[in-house]
Amino acid sequence: MKKLICMTDIHITDEGEDIIGLDPLARFCKARDAALEAHPDAEALILMGDLTHHGRVSQYQRFASELTDIPMPVIPMIGNHDRRDAFLEVFPNAPQTVDGHIQSILDLPMHRIITLDTLDGPPYPKWHHAGLLGEARLGWLKAALDGADGRIPLVFAHHPPFDTGIIGMDYIKLKDGPDLLAMLAQYENAHLFCGHVHRTISGRLNGVSWSMLKSTCHHGPLELKKPDPTLSLDEPGSYGLALLHESGVVFHSEDVGIEAEVQTDIGSLSG
């Protein structure tokens, strides 16, 4: 069965900078090593946005130096903490649309992998972290969906196009989310993957099934009342694994850095 490795909200900082005491680069390397050791035969590694914490060239350079030995195509996406011009300075060969958005299509035998650029800007006003697709990117997506030629569309967007109940993050979701959901609802087998909220969540809304993956670094609490998008937890980093079935997709979220051994509970079969 074909599979994809997914990682999101990597938030690489400059050397010496941490996030709630965590080193995002070390956390990413731990997730990368665990994922590649277990799944070296994956079709691609999808990096689902917020590659860096401040969108600085120096941060993309630190990140790029850790991507040199990946034995599969690497598909980078950008999120609200990224900046397109700085990203392209370090990743000049990243796929771009004619409008300069970082979007891509990867065709596998039964699936079409579509990655979207939900960064709103430039300009980038301070504290502005909501996402936007707009007409050009939605038009590009429609063409990508229509051209899938029977393949199951797996669509990746950094910002979720709906409320999750995590109120601080709901304020900075995808602004034109209803337009994205309405479009995806027209494609029966489409599945949407998001990051941004730093939690593993799943659901089906407006007829669209979706999965959300937590960060390789820091996580968001299940906070339904405080409207603060910066609340963070030190929980184990994670990567996602999408198993591509001929009728759809199964998505796993795997924590890394937990020193637990797999054990056999043979007694559970004898009772």
CB of 137 to Fe ion, least distance (A): 20
CB of 152 to Fe ion, least distance (A): 27
CB of 65 to Fe ion, least distance (A): 21
Tell me how many degrees the CA angle 242-1-190 measures, rounded to the nearest 5. 45
CB of 229 to Fe ion, least distance (A): 9
CB of 129 to Fe ion, least distance (A): 9
Stretch of 6-14, 16-24, 90-98, 230-238 lying at the interface with Fe ion (CB under 5 A): 6-14
Query: How many other CB atoms sit within 10 Å of the CB of residue 16?
Result: 6
Calpha distance 61→42 (Å, rounded)? 25
Does 117 interact with Fe ion (rule: CB under 5 A)? no
Which CB atom, from 9 or from 176, has the smaller least distance to Fe ion?
9
Calpha distance 51→48 (Å, rounded)? 8
Stretch of 3-11, 12-20, 119-127, 164-172 lying at the interface with Fe ion (CB under 5 A): 3-11
What is the token pair recorded at 201?
Answer: 């969540």
Closest CA to 166 of 127, 128, 115, 221: 221
Which residues, in sequence order, are bridge partners of residue 48?
77
CB of 79 to Fe ion, least distance (A): 6
Select the residue interacting with Fe ion from 50, 82, 120, 235 (CB under 5 A). Answer: 50
Stretch of 1-9, 16-24, 103-111, 163-171 lying at the interface with Fe ion (CB under 5 A): 1-9
Extract the runs of DSSP E, i.e. beta strands, from the chain.
Answer: 2-7, 44-48, 74-77, 104-107, 111-115, 152-157, 191-194, 201-205, 208-212, 238-245, 248-255
Which CB atom, from 104 or from 216, has the smaller least distance to Fe ion?
216
The gap from C-alpha 58 to its chain's centroid, in whole angstroms, comes to 22
Number of shown-chain residues binding Fe ion (CB under 5 A): 2
**Tokens 């799944």 sit at which residue?**
39
- Site for Fe ion, residues 9 to 28, rule: CB under 5 A: 9
Contacts of 45 (CB under 8 A, 6+ apart): 4, 5, 6, 7, 35, 70, 72, 73, 74, 75
Which CB atom, from 152 or from 194, has the smaller least distance to Fe ion?
194
CB of 217 to Fe ion, least distance (A): 9
Stretch of 32-40, 46-54, 109-117, 167-175 lying at the interface with Fe ion (CB under 5 A): 46-54
Which CB atom, from 50 or from 120, has the smaller least distance to Fe ion?
50
Stretch of 4-12, 17-25, 89-97, 149-157 lying at the interface with Fe ion (CB under 5 A): 4-12
Q: Are strands 111-115 and 152-157 parallel, antiparallel or unpaired?
A: parallel
Which residues contribute to the site for Fe ion (CB under 5 A)? 9, 50
